[in-house]
Structure 1
Amino acid sequence: MKMTTNLTPERCIAMKDSGAWNDMLITDYLDEAVSRVPDKTAIITYTMASGEHSTLSYRELAERVARIAVGLVSLGVERDDVVSCQLPNWWQMTALHLACVRIGAILNPLMPIFREHELRFMLAQAESKVLVVPTVFRGFDHGAMAAGLKKELGSLAHVLVIGGEGDSSFDACLLGHEHDQTLDVARLFDERRPSGDDVVQLLYTSGTTGKPKGVMHTSNTLMSHIRPLAERLALGADDTTLMPSPLAHQLGFLYGLMMPIYLQATAILQDTWLPQEAVKIIRAERPSLMLGSTPFLADIAEQAIDHGPDLQSLKLFLCAGAPIPSPLVEKAARNLPTRIISAWGMTENGAVTTTCLEDDPSRAVESDGRPLPYMELKVTDIEGRPLPPGQEGSLWVRGASLFVGYFKQPDLYGVDDEGWFPTGDLARLDEQGYVRITGRSKDVVIRGGENIPIVDIENTLYQHPAIQAVALVGQPDERLGERLCAYVTLKEGHDELTLEEVSRFLTERQMTRQYQPEFLQVLEELPRTPSGKIQKFKLREQATTAPNA
């Protein structure tokens, strides 16, 4: 089936005239790497369950990509067919995406934590023809689950299992065959080659507000911010990247799967986040770059207290997904040479903003960066009128890396006639164009007619010695409209925390009483999306049934 998108000829012309889009595919960059550095290590995969690791050179990666691509064709995969995969951070996922691009198919990465409920919806809507899964990962039998789904879903023709046997074996079906001697592989790939404007990735949103939507990206939209990001951070072929964030999330996909190939660099994939093991990997492989959300940075900063000498190669940490608490930056700075880069983005855009190497380190705490080349931001009031610097309003984005539509839901695209996309975030811009994300539009708490500065209060509470993570949401109240509820998890060694202690802590930091939580609940874990973002909509649901303060 041909993907129907919201991409217009006018946008294509404008983006190509600006130089933002160049019609290069990720496989073109793979071919360049094979030509220039065939024996350089492309991927190192660390498997935590077995304690083993494997390496692939660019030549070996390209050979496996060709085999997988031909194998997919032999299974009946046509141009624009969707190939889904629910894989950990293993080399097979990188190879599978490259193979799909070779034959004009579309990769649909799925988070390994998804189960039947989520997968049934996504696989059915995507009409996936092939699903690739591990046999068992983190104690869960993905092979058995996938086999059960195959019986339910008529469009799912093949389930391939890494480590499986027989007809469902990934290796046997896609790697264990010799290319047909009569098959002209080069001609096959040339005939199947997608354009830069064809959809190559279908990635479902994490679901912070409910039902996921299928985000469609092309080679042009994906590559148009990888190049500027690499340039802004002065990255090159010698920059080895450690990627513990899931490749099935946009951050991992773009910067752990695609960007190293573009740079002709080496990617280190850690399939399960274990901070102590990450220290061993960094000591052995000496990566210069790591990317992840705030919890990854927090863990590395904690490990640096006792293992700082082992982590000295880590020169850059790009942190995205949530504001970075200042105590975390201070802790990292005490034991690491690492420059922390703050970033903001979405599945629909990839990274849109980052702080810069020349910025004062405080910028990473105070802002979420400024737009990358070919991207623009604006902040508006409720009527859509642009607001001056310093005022909070609705955040809009437009530019080269903007996606090309939601799969089978073109009416939800939301882009206006001038190309602006409503992000659903609240933000403010400063005089220099740096943005600060202040919350989601649905995260606003209005108590007695006054907007509560949620992010500022959360950042302050992160400084509390007992609090590991915190999320503030509103509880409906007949008199005040809403009351402020705090949900927290505690650090190891702390068993309890009272509302009185929280109030005293905030009062000592001169936080106005009207901004202080009126309800507190300590949880074992906060509900999160697969990418680590706190699902405040679930906490809001919980708050509606919480006892009134």
Structure 2
Amino acid sequence: MEFDPVLLAPRLAPMKAAGLWRDETIDTYLRKAVQERPDKPAVVAYASDQAEPVRLSYRQLDERVGRIARGLAAAGVGRQDVVTFQLPNCWEFVALSLACVRIGAVANPVMPIFRQHELNFMLNFGESKVFIVPRVFRGFDYEAMARGMLPGLPHLKQLVVLGGEGEDSFERVLLGDATPPLAGPGLGPDEVALLMYTSGTTGEPKGVMHTSNTLFSNLHAYIETMALGRGEVILGASPMAHLTGYVYLAMLPVALNATTVLQDVWDARRALQIVRAEGVTFSMASTPFVADLCGAVEAGEASIPAFNKFCCAGAPIPPVLIERAQRVLGMRLCSAWGMTENGAVTVTEPSRALEMSGVSDGRPLRGMEVKIVDAAGQAVPTGDSGELLVRGASLFAGYLKRPHLNGVDADGWFDTGDVATVDAAGYIRITGRSKDVVIRGGENIPVVEIENLLYQHPAISVVAVVGYPDKRLGERVCAFVTVKEGASFTFEDMVAYLESRQVARQYFPERLEIAPDLPRTPSGKLQKFKLRTAAKAFGDAD
């Protein structure tokens, strides 16, 4: 695969001179852990269908990483080839990520919620050589789905099924003993290490490219700000196929030589039991995870005093949740803002969490800068709202095959598409989004893609998809629809249609509103702000 990381070259010299890009990879830290503390727990993986967790020391993890790396090489994966894996939080996810680095391949984790519609695009666009799926997860047959997709995946060399029983099972293909020794260097620090798709406003996902240097510059600054150390036990419950899970719950523990504890299916009561059993001290996820933990303790579960630090990203933290978490859990909630393109850009320090997390989304990590500008690109006065621009060490390497969408100007500023304010101390507050994306429970909903699909329904004349407030998830999704004369369209029709188009169910709107017409400007452009205002009543009514 030929990558075009065009955003790297201007930063190579200044970032390395500043010590922000240290030319490390995650394999550097894995080998250090094996040398210095081989018997320390590296991964403890709880699966919803297993009575006991899988426990791997750093020595055991390294041995499995080596076997998987050799298995990938034997399956035809070469340098800068893309390996796509659609797995829940499990030890195999962590080991695959590390194995890709060891052979110079590019890790491409994709969310378990995706179905054929999203996956066909992603695997073909990234020219994936290997596709790894569970046999069954949460009642869905991933093996059957993946086998049905094979005729439309010309670049694919190998399907691998975790828990499978055939010749393409994970155990036979990637954990077999008859694999050749590795030859050649591992991944370089300025080579593309991660390809992660993000939903945007273009109607198709964009492939975000990161290198080890862009990722580790963020990790080092994040660890410093959050005051994390080697003794952490980190709960990995947020999906690892998101950048949050991948960087801060899978990579960060290895970088610290700490321990990560994985939970594949979120259940707050079970999470509390795991936290107590394993001595968890830290995690990062969206706010619904914390709200659910509070609810479980309030319902009678024992509290968790050692688990006293949590970083929330994906949406602003309601101030009431900050007070509730402190009172019920003894936990400090640190707010953060970031994107797949940057990782966490701003974070509120634990020492100021009670004071600032409810009114800000943090201030820039070391190596990152923010700027708030008006429509003309001029910086606005402190406290005024404007477009949020960012630049610095953890900025991505570019969008795969779409450099024209990179959104970076000649001075290195990236247009986030978000609207924000900044105070005199440098703390930002996201006040809106110019991007047409709804964030539900920390998950970006690709509004334009859903609209484009609904427009293809024969009964629909006009459609607009917007978010409305929800106390637990932050936002839910409503589709406003005008139907053609003589036609009808119900909520059940919408669900059946999106199912027939093989769309991830988590992208389905929760509400359907039929209207004779939708508000427009004199030029005919839909006025979505009016629909968002109308939709707020749905959240108030819940």
Q: TM-score of the superposition, structure 2-length normalised?
A: 0.82
2:321 aligns with one of 321, 324, 328? 328
Partner of 1:261: 254
| Equivalent residues in 2 for 1:141-540, closer than 5 Å | 141-180=141-180, 183=181, 185=182, 188=183, 191-207=184-200, 210-307=203-300, 309-359=302-352, 361-442=354-435, 487=468
Cα deviation for residue 151 of structure 1 reads: 1.9
Q: Structure 1 residues 172 and 329 mapped into 2: Cα distance closer, same or farther (>3 Å)?
A: same
Unaligned regions of 5+ residues in structure 2, if any? 448-465, 473-490, 499-503, 520-530, 535-542
Query: Is the 2:74–2:179 Cα contact (8 Å) retained in structure 1?
Result: no
**How many Å separate the matches in 2 of 1:327 and 1:535?**
28
Contact 1:425–1:440 (8 Å) recurs in 2: yes
Any idea what the Cα deviations from partners look like across 1:99-134, whole Å, max 9, x if unmatched?
A: 111111001000001000000000010110000110
Q: CA deviation at 1:309?
A: 3.8
- Which moves more between the two structures, 164-173 or 220-229? 164-173
CA apart distance, 1:146: 0.9
SS in 2 for 1:359: helix
Query: Secondary structure in 1 aligned to 2:53?
Result: strand
Q: Give the Cα separation in 2 of the matches to 1:230 and 1:52.
A: 30
Distance in 1 between residues matched to 2:271 and 2:509, nearest whole Å: 32
Please tell me whether the aligned partners of residues 342 and 354 of structure 1 are also in contact (alpha carbons under 8 angstroms). yes
Q: Distance in 2 between matches of 1:536 and 1:415?
A: 32
CA distance in 1, matches of 2:2, 2:185: 13
**Could you tell me how far 1:486 is from its partner in structure 2?**
7.8
- Aligned equivalent of 2:85: 85
Residue of structure 2 equivalent to 1:11: 11
Report how far residue 193 of structure 1 moved: 1.9
Deviation at 1:258, TM superposition (A): 0.2
Decide whether the 8 Å contact of 1:198 with 1:218 is kept in 2.
Answer: yes
Offset at 1:544?
A: 9.0
CA offset digits 1:361-413 (Å, max 9, x no partner): 13110000000000000000011000111000000000000001101111111
Secondary structure in 1 matching 2:241: coil
Shift of 1:8: 4.2
- When residues 50 and 537 of structure 1 are mapped into structure 2, their CA distance, relative to the original with a 3 A threshold, is closer
Mapped to 1, the partners of 2:282 and 2:31 lie a distance apart of: 24
Q: 1 CA distance for matches of 2:513 and 2:5?
A: 34
Classify the secondary structure of the residue corresponding to 2:61.
helix
**Partners in 2 of 1:55 and 1:265 — Cα distance?**
14
* C-alpha separation in 1, matches of 2:22 and 2:413: 22
Find the aligned partners of 1:170 and 1:536 in 2 and give their Cα distance: 32
CA separation of 1:535/1:346 partners in 2, compared to 1, >3 Å: closer, same or farther?
farther
Q: Report what 1:500 is aligned to.
A: none
Q: Could you list the runs of 5+ residues in structure 1 that have no partner in the other structure?
A: 445-453, 459-470, 474-484, 492-520
Residue 21 of structure 1 aligns to a residue whose secondary structure is: coil
Deviation at 1:72, TM superposition (A): 0.8
Cα deviation, residue 49, structure 1: 2.8
SS of the equivalent of 2:205 reads coil
**Counterpart code for 2:154:** G
Deviates more, 1:64-73 or 1:351-360: 351-360
Residues 460-512 of structure 1 show CA distances to partners (whole Å, capped at 9, x for unaligned) of: xxxxxxxxxxx9x9xxxxxxxxxxx9845588xxxxxxxxxxxxxxxxxxxxx
Tell me how many residue pairs correspond in the alignment: 472
CA contact (8 A) 2:131 2:156 kept: yes
Amino acid at match of 1:266: T
Q: What RMSD in Å do the two structures reach over aligned CA positions?
A: 3.0
Partner SS, residue 232 of structure 1: helix
Q: Give 1:543 deviation, angstroms.
A: 8.1
Q: Which residue matches 2:43?
A: 43
Distance 1:543 1:96 in 2: 49
Aligned with 2:284: secondary structure?
strand
Letter in 2 for 1:137: F
CA distance in 1: counterparts of 2:414 and 2:265, whole angstroms: 34
Describe the SS at the equivalent of 2:121: helix
Q: Residue 210 of structure 1: CA displacement? A: 3.4
CA distance in structure 1 between the partners assigned to 2:76 and 2:186 by the alignment: 17
**What is the alpha-carbon distance in structure 2 between the residues aligned to residue 33 and residue 543 of structure 1?**
61
The 5 A counterparts of 1:10-29 are 10-29=10-29
